[in-house]
Chains A and B, each alone.
Chain A
Amino acid sequence: MELSISIIIGLMILGALYAIHAKDLLSSVIACGIVGYSLVICFLLLKAPDLAIVQIVVDTITLIIMVAVVLDSSREESYSKLDTKGYISAATGILMIVVLLYFFAISVQSLDVLGTSSLRMANYYIEGAAQKTGSANLVTGVVFDFRGYDTMGEAVVLVTAVLGVLTILRLKGKK
């Protein structure tokens, strides 16, 4: 199990690197879509069908929006030599990445390996979940009943984003 997941994540890393360094913006957006769709396969391997459905459709919508933005533009990235400011930001980026990775590698040793995670709060979601919430799908039970307040916040986040998009895309801001 761990091997197959690691292979897929390795491919995702390659896709991500290509997406960042691609010359043509459209191919970079499509590479990002590929990384999203391979996440769907990971979800299926990790026994999360709910997430697979939502991720595959949301990734399609994100791809549509990104392609809509990139398509009518001159798609090549204006490549320019890294000036000093570029080198500084690249150096700080790499430094930050090395530090974070080093910290992560050490602190991961003391935590439980993939697949052996114990349960504490979630025990009671699984145990009496079907009776308490009445829903056969435990994830929907958790989403809409145990943590329904989060999901209302969630729906409000989406409405805020719609309002935000409507305000940003209106033609005239000031009278």
Chain B
Amino acid sequence: MKGMTLIVKKSTQLIAGIIFMYGIYVIVHGHLTPGGGFAGGVIIAGSLILVTLAYGGEFLKLVKEEAGTTIIESMATIMVIMIATAGFFFGTKIFFNNFLPRGVVAQLISAGVIPLYNIFVGTEVAASIFIIFLSLVIFKEESPQ
């Protein structure tokens, strides 16, 4: 997949990092400001897609990337399920229990398990959408015209 012109490459250099950081901000502050696991994850996926579109990348690198991202994605989803089943053992022994202390409402470390959910769901959504985009690109590369 060939990349785009120099102007596009230069501008992605500028903004891709910022978008990525903004995605992480939205995930981490999910329980304080609007946004959360899903929104942040999709923003991160957006920045990754932007970089892949702008710079292109020879075929094998993309395939390897996709395999790695699949592993990350299933790891993140298993972590989400692990936190949910952790409620079995801690707190009031119920499936989806919020067993960590709640803390003060508007502070960063405040909503018990919710920030953990946010982070893992965020990585999982980012990895999933990036894989969907990569598999489309790889399919268009390798399938005959």
Chain A residues proximal to chain B, CB less than 8 Å: 49-50, 52-54, 57-58, 60-61, 64-65, 68-69, 72, 130-137, 139-141, 143-145, 148-149, 151-152, 155-156, 158-159, 161-162, 165-166, 169, 171
Contact = CB atoms under 8 A, between A and B. Distances in A.
Given A65-B132, A133-B102, A137-B36, A171 B117 contact: no
Nearest to A68: B136
A50 B117 contact: no
A144 B31 CA distance: 9
Interface centre among A49, A133, A161 (most CB of B within 10 A): A133
B140 A72 contact: yes
Nearest to B138: A169
Interface of B: 26, 30-39, 42-43, 45-46, 49, 70, 73-74, 77, 80-81, 84, 95-96, 98, 102-103, 105-106, 110-114, 117-118, 121, 124-125, 128-129, 131-133, 135-140, 142-143
A137 B31 contact: yes
A50 B35 contact: yes
Mostly, the A contact residues are helix
A161 B128 contact: yes
A68 B137 CA distance: 8
Contacts of A141: 31, 111, 114
A53 B41 CA distance: 11
Contacts of A133: 98, 102, 111-112, 114
A50 B34 contact: yes
B30 A137 contact: yes
Contact of B31 (A65, A68, A131, A140): A140
B73 A136 contact: no
Contacts of B103: 134
